[in-house]
Amino acid sequence: MRFYLKSKISLLFLILFCCSKTFANVPIKEIVKSALQNNEQLFIAKQNLNASKSKMIQCFSQYLPNLSLQASYAKNYNSPVISEFSIGGITTETYFGFNSQADLKSWQVTLSQNIFSFGRIESLILNSIENMKNAELDIKKIEQDIVFNSLSSYFQLVADKISLDYANQNYEIAKLSLEKTKIMYKNGMASDLDKNEAESSFLSAKQSIEKANDSLGLSLLTFRNVTGIDQVDFSSLDFIEKDEENFVENRRFEEITNEAYENNPDYQKALINVNIAQNNLLFAKSNLFPSIVGQGNYSWSNSSYQTNPINFDQTNWSVVLSANWNLFDGLNTQAKINEANHLLDTAKANLVLAKKTFDFEIKKSYFNHVSARKSAEIAKNVLASRQKSFEIAKVKYKKNAMSIIDFMDIQSKLSKAQQDYILSKLNLYISYLQLKKTVGTLNIEEFGI
């Protein structure tokens, strides 16, 4: 009996086509797109970015003049003030005011401008810009996590499906081998050891199916949770073979490291946090100096009385240049400066820690990818060797120069080598994704989204 794995090799091509650096193929694009739509963290991060942009506009507005207009209209009545005074025994009453209802109208225009704040406004603006950059990096990091998680969960699902197919196939091989061995055992052509080995192989194959089913169920659950896609129809997936160069990183470690420092969101955020801490220190020190504000006012008011032909009209204007200097505040400013200095030291220490952590992560991802490349190459060579052994075994089996047990054992090893080769390719691709994620270049733009 011969087992040819053409359908399984097609799944290998499916994996290979997904490993293009452009990621332009529809299945992958749809998976990533669905995962992006299914992620609440991305929505929250985008709202935080919008909020940071609004905050930046608020800070910039302090550079611009503030123009306000006030207007009022009122009806008013005040009884006149009556004063009595006597001259030569004659008492005279004098009325001050009008015994009439009045219409009061007024408006005022005020223009104020911050002239100098000794770094107070500047530090707020700089921090608003840095916070906006942080928000953008949060989005970038979440998007890259989504790309990696969705694709790695998808390819893990494919791997578990392949493993289940191979487990079923090995089960059939082990089952047939056991049946043949029992017949040979009855005819005295197989030993007790051969029979026990065949039974053990059959039980092991049966157990492998159960494990593969469990793994497939778990990977499907993970894939659904990440992407929001409920059904995966493996039989309807297109496939195409791509060169290995499309998903292998061939650059030197130093080149990748330099690119990583420029693109990795976590490391970039650590740099930004140092800038924020420096701006906070500038803001705290600015309270040691005065703030200077210019203000101009222009106002008009009118009072008219209904029963008297009297109309009061008044116009006022003023220009003021004021300075506000907090000379002593109970050492509050000095305490804020000390706090800002400590937080700056903390941010610098966090940057050193982030660099050490990042150095380790980039080395880990890079050499894991190198290891995956070597494993894929070894698996390729092993498969070629197993294929040669199988061809030789077929000739011997046809000539009755090999037992069915030995032939099926070689066939089983070929099946295992084919599986290992496919999974090694998959592992290579995942390691490439992980490396791109660590470097910070696993962007959704590569998917045409």
Share of the chain above pLDDT 90, in %: 55
**pLDDT given for residue 235 in this prediction:** 54
- Residue 145 pLDDT more than 70? yes
- Residue 27 pLDDT more than 80? no
Domains of the chain listed by start with CATH number: 6-90+116-292+327-447 (1.20.1600.10)
Higher pLDDT, 15 or 446: 446
pTM comes to 0.78
Categorize the per-residue pLDDT at 88 as very low, low, confident or very high, splitting at 50, 70 and 90.
Answer: low
Closest among 167, 177, 54 to 423, alpha carbons compared: 167
Distance, in Å, from the CA atom of 43 to the CA atom of 206, rounded to the nearest integer, reads 46
**pLDDT given for residue 10 in this prediction:** 41
Categorize the per-residue pLDDT at 244 as very low, low, confident or very high, splitting at 50, 70 and 90.
Answer: low
Give rounded-to-5 percent helix, strand, coil for the chain. 65, 15, 20
CB under 8 Å to 143, separation ≥6 — which residues?
36, 42, 443, 444
- Residue 360 pLDDT more than 60? yes
- Residue 308 pLDDT more than 90? no
Share of the chain above pLDDT 70, in %: 88
DSSP state of 387: H
Categorize the per-residue pLDDT at 357 as very low, low, confident or very high, splitting at 50, 70 and 90.
Answer: very high
Asked which of 109-123, 136-150, 224-238 is least confident by mean pLDDT, the reply is 224-238
**pLDDT given for residue 380 in this prediction:** 92
Distance, in Å, from the CA atom of 342 to the CA atom of 348, rounded to the nearest integer, reads 10
- Residue 15 pLDDT more than 60? no
CB under 8 Å to 358, separation ≥6 — which residues?
260, 261, 264, 266, 267
Categorize the per-residue pLDDT at 18 as very low, low, confident or very high, splitting at 50, 70 and 90.
Answer: very low
Specify the DSSP element, H or E, that contains 222: helix 192-227
